[in-house]
Chain A
């Protein structure tokens, strides 16, 4: 019976490969992601001014959140260290723009930031995962990573500006035949939009690859995966390195977009924010990370304006409700509704 069904499906796939590909593509998550990205694309057409100015920053937080989603959603590793890698990218950009004149500066900042963060994450990850550090011990170590990043940023004031922070000018990205100056809010908006989209598509591709599937199997049962012949410590190290690199990528663009980097951007508090974004948005979905980061950042901003005293309390309450009643997060919960609706029809 079900063999027959399987046979029929394979048959129709052969006859209409394009239609079948389209059907496979039209998963709930892909449709939802299209809606979100199309909406983001049209924001500048509808709202001028403040939203266009502030949304790039939130989208960069979205990229930072996706870097955690790779670790947590796929690999099952909760990290409170993402801010540390983010700030490596941010300082890298700031320092490179100051020290390297001309068109090369910003590119060097991005490249070095991503490379240094990925290498640092790889080194730390290698030691942790080879020593089989996991679960709450892993969380503790990542908390320490954030603490160290913030302390170093504060003390190495000769390089980072220390407590006073570091000002970073709005850069121009030189491409062959095209110079994109982030001084224009609209240009900055679409550069960051594109970066977010490319990162999203890249991470989704990684998720569907063999590497992504094996990472998920490590989350589900690491011992089984190892016993099937996979060096799980190596794969977790690679995931950690990619995650660190993606966080630094967001940090590098953040530095020039926000114009200012301070040590608390690498600390535990900001890292915790990232965890909250991903938890509320839905850790199983890269889209959830984006929606969580943008949504919570925008909400915080609004609440801060309306009720400056209690907004953090309100946010804490929201976090509590999501953790207690909607464990899949916003996007996870919404996407879970779809199949049951289909069944009801």
Chain B
């Protein structure tokens, strides 16, 4: 079986910091992969390399067999791998509708089809009632959904979600897990999700990659990961203790 996304041995150094070392992963069609690890483990750097925002020093990234390692971000996104940033990034002074329009225009729809698709995307991220609100007026949790909506609106085949539940209440976090699961199941997209919240990761029932000091230290289903002694020591241990 060939994977939709195949990452081999990518590394990145920022000055004195080795942010990623020899990171690899393979993502099948319509799969979810969670990336966990303590702060500074290199999760966002990995996402930035995948999205074309940071060029790896070494290694290759293949999307459906195509080597996209040195592509600029806009080209990677056009090819179907679209990112949500860890920090908020949307258009606060535009309405929710206008925000989503920008994303959907990129998939080539115009006029009536555009409006219909915007409505559809808004509903799929639970924002159907807020289309004409300025995005800046949304409560924080809903801006995260708007950002997922932007990724979906662009017709991402792979969503790169960097901490999509940051700042959410436990209830919102679980709703977001359900939302990601639903998008993957109904729209056939795949997702790479960086997360801190273990409840969220368990709820997604996905394969997990654990990063520590820029290296992959474990990979597998969450139930195995939780038994892994090294992982418990560097990561889960902190939480349990």
Contact = CB atoms under 8 A, between A and B. Distances in A.
A214 B77 contact: no
Contact of B102 (A2, A223, A228): A228
Interface stretch (B4-12, B103-111, B169-177): B103-111
B94 interface: yes
B235 interface: no
Contacts of B91: 217, 220-221, 224
Interface residues of B, number: 29
B98 interface: yes
Nearest to A217: B102
Interface stretch (B14-22, B23-31, B82-90): B82-90
A231 B89 contact: no
Given A210-B110, A214-B105, A226 B74 contact: yes
A99 interface: no
B73 A225 contact: no
A213 interface: yes
Contact of A3 (B90, B93, B98, B129): B129
Contacts of A6: 131
Given A214-B105, A224-B150, A228-B102, A2 B74 contact: no
Contacts of B98: 213
B94 A227 contact: no
Contact of B74 (A210, A217, A231): A231
Given A210-B110, A214-B102, A217-B91, A229 B154 contact: yes
Interface string A164-182: 0000000000000000000
B101 A227 contact: no
A25 interface: no
Given A213-B98, A220-B91, A228 B106 contact: yes
A67 interface: no
Interface residues of A, number: 21
B51 interface: yes
A213 B95 CA distance: 12
A24 to B, nearest CB: 13
A233 to B, nearest CB: 9
B128 interface: yes
Candidate in A221, A225, A231 with the most chain B CB atoms within 10 angstroms: A221
Contacts of A220: 91-94
Interface string A198-225: 0000000000001001101100110111
B78 interface: yes
A190 to B, nearest CB: 35
Nearest to B76: A229
A224 B90 contact: yes
B90 A230 contact: no
A297 interface: no
A225 B74 CA distance: 8
A229 B105 CA distance: 10
A221 to B, nearest CB: 5
Nearest to B160: A227
Given A210-B105, A220-B94, A228 B82 contact: yes
Interface in A54-73: none
Contacts of B150: 224, 228
A298 B124 CA distance: 54
A214 B90 CA distance: 13
Contacts of A214: 102, 105
A142 to B, nearest CB: 24
A160 interface: no
A223 B89 contact: yes
A256 B172 CA distance: 66
Nearest to A211: B105
Given A3-B129, A223-B89, A227-B51, A232 B74 contact: yes
Candidate in B74, B82, B90 with the most chain A CB atoms within 10 angstroms: B74
22 contacts: A3-B128, A213-B102, A217-B91, A217-B94, A220-B91, A220-B93, A221-B90, A223-B85, A223-B89, A226-B74, A226-B77, A227-B53, A227-B82, A228-B103, A228-B106, A229-B74, A229-B77, A229-B78, A229-B82, A229-B154, A230-B74, A231-B75
Interface of A: 1-3, 6, 210, 213-214, 216-217, 220-221, 223-232
Shortest beta-carbon contacts, A-B, top 3: A229-B77, A229-B78, A220-B91
